[in-house]
Amino acid sequence: MNEFCHNKGIGFIHAGVLGLYAHCFLDFGEKHQITDKDGQAVKLSLVAHIDNRDENPEITCNDKHPHDMSQG
């Protein structure tokens, strides 16, 4: 499915949950760019928890894999 969407220039999102584990795969094509508001390079991190119970969601990353990104 992703190959079909990629070849047609269609954004593709696949997500799944299996018990306590979840995954998310995104493919928005070759021209898609991700930028940081402070101009920092894109970095990867493992998300440990997302708390979105109010208007200020909080994302907690895995302490064993620090992200070195700006807060907020």
| Predicted local confidence at residue 21, as pLDDT | 84
Q: Residue 70: is its pLDDT beyond 70?
A: no
With the C-alpha atoms ordered 56, 57, 58, 61, is the resulting torsion angle positive or negative?
A: negative
Looking at the fold, whether 39 and 70 belong to one and the same domain comes out as yes
Q: Strand locations in the chain, DSSP E?
A: 12-18, 21-27, 47-51, 58-61
pTM of the model: 0.48
Domain limits at 51?
33-72
The mean per-residue pLDDT over the stretch 53-61 comes to 82
| Predicted local confidence at residue 28, as pLDDT | 92
Q: Residue 39: is its pLDDT beyond 70?
A: yes
Relative to beta strand 12-18, strand 21-27 is: antiparallel
Looking at the fold, whether 19 and 52 belong to one and the same domain comes out as no
